[in-house]
Each structure stands twice: as C-alpha cells, then as structure tokens.
Amino acid sequence: MSDTGELARRHIVLGLSGGVACYKAADLARELVKAGATVQVVMTEAACRFITPVTMQALSGRPVFTNQWDAREGNNMAHINLTREADAVVVAPASADFIAQLAQGRADELLSLLCLARPAQAVPLLVAPAMNREMWAHPATQRNVAQIRADGAFVLGPAAGDQACGEIGDGRMLEADELRDELIAHFQPKVLAGRTLLVTAGPTFEALDPVRGITNLSSGKMGFAIARAAAEAGASVTLVAGPVHQPTPRGVRRIDVSSAEQMLAAVLPEAKVHEVFVATAAVADWRPAEVAAQKMKKDASRDGAGRVPAIAFVENPDILATVARLPAAERPFCVGFAAESHDIVRHAREKLARKGVPLIVANDGPATFGRDDNTLVLVDAQGERALPPGDKLTLARALVAEIAARAPRRPA
C-alpha cells in the first residue's frame, strides 16, 4: 500500500460485472494504483467474457478473484475476507442485471455476494452504471437504482454519449479519471455539506477592439481547485469563470464570462443566494473607455508626428467590495484573494480594510500564475497565518476547511 498519492493507504475492491465498459475498468485500476491505492479486483463470469483476469492482475498487481468457491482463502470465505480490510467497494462497470441483483439482495456469484456481506457502515459501495440507453431508461432499472441508493449505495453517473451499440444517450460509464476523482472526493470530509458556495476564477478580458484586449496571466487553476474542493466537501458550488482553458469540476455549475462587467452581472444575483463567496478571479482594475468597432490598424494609428494615440481608461467595478456591501440578509461570507508582487501581507491587510471582508488570502501572483503549486497566507483582523506550501488542490482543501470553520450559516 503506497504512502503517497491522493488514495494513499486506501484499499479498494474493484468489481467488474459484464459489459463492454470493462475496458475502462482496466484504465481505472491503473489510475487507482497510480493514486496510491491497493486494488483487489473481483470479476463476474460475464466480465471475464469482455476482459481477462490476466489483464486485471497485471494492472492491479494482485491475483484476481472470480469464484466464490476460490480455495485460495484459508477458510474458503472470499466473500467475507475480501471486504474486511477494504475502504470501499467500487463496481465499474455495473450492468443492469448486477444493479438488479443489488436491489433484490441476490447473491448469485462472488461479487454480488461480497457486496451483500460487506460491513455496510464501514465499507461504502460505489456503483458506476454502464448499459444501453433504453436499459438505463427502463422503469425497472430506475426503480432498482432508486432502491440501491435508498440502501446506501453511491451511484456514479452514468454519462451521455456514443454507445458501443451505435446508439447515443445516457448509460455510458464515466471515464477512468472521472471515477478516480469521484472516489477521491468520496473520502474528503463533508465539512460544507448542505451549504452553498460561489467562486470566481481566472482573468477578465477587457476589449480594445474586436481582436485585441487587456488581460493578465491568471490561469484560473486556484479558483477551479477551490470549486472542486468545495464540491468534494459537500457544497453546492457555482463557478463564474473568466476566459480560461480549465475543465469544469464534476458537480459544479459553471457560468462563463469575459469582462469584469460581465462577471459582476453574473455574480451579483448569485451572491444573494449563496452562503459563501470566494473571489479568486484576477479582475482587471481598468478597461478602455471606448472599444473600437474595427481592428485598430498599425498604419492608421499614428498621427502626423508618428505618435501612437493614448488610450483612455475607466475604472472597473469592484466585484468583491460590491458583494461585501450587500444588505446583511443577502450578503454571503466573503473571502478575497490578493495576488501581489511585493509586500504581500501589507497589501493584503490594506485590501482587507478597503473591501470590508473578514478574510483575505494572499499570494505572490507572478510566482504562481499558471503553476500547479502555490503558497497562501490567510490575513484577517486577528493576524496572518501561512498555509504550508503545496499543490493548489491541497491548498484549496485546506482553505475550504478554514471557510467551513469561519462562515456562519445563513438563517433560513
């Protein structure tokens, strides 16, 4: 069992039922091992028709179990022994037939038997459906899915898209990296369960003409990490993103904007219905007073003396300060970010007073823009405290824990 990775020291039973999506289970086993987990594969007879136990053994590094009568277990009770040290059972793919077995409490072979015999309070069951769209939509399948949810199983997906049968629709198993991330999220403390969080991320783009504009080097990675960490912690998350190339974290609602004015227009109505607002975006302080209707040509931009005309600027709205001035009944707990280039703590403290917010998170902008790691300093009325340097997702999880401890619940 690895001591490194987001699934370090986790032991996962990975079950495969019959379906062409078994090929994704091979990638999933590899991803889980790379994330630090030990993986014990259990396959149904039908699964062995789609992928061999030899393949899964090679990827997991452990012998694969396929039969409840497997004599390798000293007491011949593989269905008991395999889950007693497990941190979770993940069934991917879970066919319509296998979900029906779970719903009905049937134990026809080893995988369904160990799901039934696992210590349910200690070993969660995560199920990734994979089937034809008509099978997924059938009332019997929907009843069975509702039943296993009621019995405590966590259903991951399915996704929509092209299917092996040639049809298109719901029923595709999630991809290996998505399932890995769902499992990682499952183990995160649910410190924001039942709460709502709004976060802004990335730069803004202030147009000069139809093809040029003013922006900055923010990649959005920190804001997207905070959105993911908050969703992992159980929050309902809305992410307002400037122009960035980042995938939307699973379970997060995303609103794309470009300019500071567009970001304010998106944020204000959302802030009134969210408990927490984290202003991570690097919003432009100024924008051009006028936007040229056509591209400004270099040859036409010089006057008779060869000088480039000056561009007049106007100040952009202060999104964080605007939200912080909302009436108390509509005002979320506000967290600001300060990306500075020098005197980081001093500037962050000045921003804390100027914006009128309870917490500013300061960092060195030039040293972190576009990078996967960061160093954060929490600045509030009582003082400042640096979080240990780390990757942005680790820091985001630490910040989410801080927010959960600090933010009061909005009265119902």
Same domain, 181 and 291: no
The reply to whether 1 falls in a domain is: no
- How many domains does the structure of the chain reveal? 2
Residue with tokens 């080893």: 110
Instruction: Output the pLDDT for position 68.
Output: 86
The reply to whether 320 falls in a domain is: yes
Same domain, 106 and 152: yes
Contact call for residues 15 and 43 (beta carbons, < 8 A): yes
Same domain, 200 and 103: no
Catalytic one of 22, 48, 165, 334: 165
165 a catalytic residue:
yes
Confidence of residue 365 (pLDDT cuts 50, 70, 90): low
User: How far apart are the C-alpha atoms of 241 and 223, rounded to whole Å?
Assistant: 9
The reply to whether 412 falls in a domain is: no
Same domain, 287 and 394: yes
Helices (H) and strands (E) in the chain, counts: 14, 21
End of a domain among 161, 186, 211?
Answer: 186
User: How far apart are the C-alpha atoms of 335 and 402, rounded to whole Å?
Assistant: 11
Range of the domain at 238: 196-406
Same domain, 257 and 359: yes
Average pLDDT on 175-203 reads: 96
The reply to whether 294 falls in a domain is: yes
Amino acid at 264: L
Contact call for residues 188 and 250 (beta carbons, < 8 A): no
User: How far apart are the C-alpha atoms of 321 and 209, rounded to whole Å?
Assistant: 29
State yes or no: pLDDT of 369 exceeds 80. Answer: no
As a whole-number percent, the residues of the chain with pLDDT over 70 amount to 94
The reply to whether 333 falls in a domain is: yes
Confidence of residue 311 (pLDDT cuts 50, 70, 90): confident
User: How far apart are the C-alpha atoms of 397 and 233, rounded to whole Å?
Assistant: 8
pTM: 0.87
Contact call for residues 102 and 149 (beta carbons, < 8 A): no
Average pLDDT on 158-167 reads: 86
Residue among 18, 44, 15, 19 nearest 28 (CA): 15
Instruction: Output the pLDDT for position 303.
Output: 56
User: How far apart are the C-alpha atoms of 390 and 402, rounded to whole Å?
Assistant: 16
Chain centroid to CA 79: how far? 33
Instruction: Output the pLDDT for position 130.
Output: 96
End of a domain among 132, 151, 186?
Answer: 186
The four Cα atoms 7, 9, 13, 19 give a dihedral, to 10 degrees, of 20
Report helix, strand or coil for 232: helix
Same domain, 36 and 97: yes
Q: Kindly provide the b/e burial profile for residues 211-220, where b requires at least 16 CB atoms within 10 angstroms of the residue's own CB.
A: eebbbeebbb
Least confident of 57-71, 74-88, 360-374: 360-374
Instruction: Output the pLDDT for position 372.
Output: 76
The reply to whether 2 falls in a domain is: no
Same domain, 145 and 210: no
**Each residue of 42-64: pLDDT tens digit?**
999 999 999 999 999 999 999 99
Same domain, 208 and 60: no
Q: Which phi-psi region, left, alpha or beta, contains residue 296 (left: φ > 0; alpha: ψ -120 to 50)?
A: beta
Instruction: Output the pLDDT for position 175.
Output: 96
Same domain, 79 and 225: no
Same domain, 226 and 362: yes
End of a domain among 186, 215, 232?
Answer: 186
User: How far apart are the C-alpha atoms of 14 and 38, rounded to whole Å?
Assistant: 10
Instruction: Output the pLDDT for position 181.
Output: 95
User: How far apart are the C-alpha atoms of 332 and 272, rounded to whole Å?
Assistant: 7
The reply to whether 191 falls in a domain is: no
**Each residue of 107-147: pLDDT tens digit?**
989 999 999 999 999 999 999 999 999 999 999 999 999 99
Q: Euclidean distance between the first and final Cα of the chain, in Å?
A: 45
Same domain, 131 and 210: no
The reply to whether 316 falls in a domain is: yes
**Each residue of 190-234: pLDDT tens digit?**
999 999 999 999 999 999 888 888 898 888 999 999 999 999 999
User: How far apart are the C-alpha atoms of 42 and 275, rounded to whole Å?
Assistant: 43
CATH of the domain at 50: 3.40.50.1950
Same domain, 166 and 211: no
Instruction: Output the pLDDT for position 14.
Output: 98
Confidence of residue 302 (pLDDT cuts 50, 70, 90): low
CATH of the domain at 240: 3.40.50.10300
Exposed/middle/buried for residue 264 (C-beta within 10 Å: 0-12, 13-18, 19+) = buried
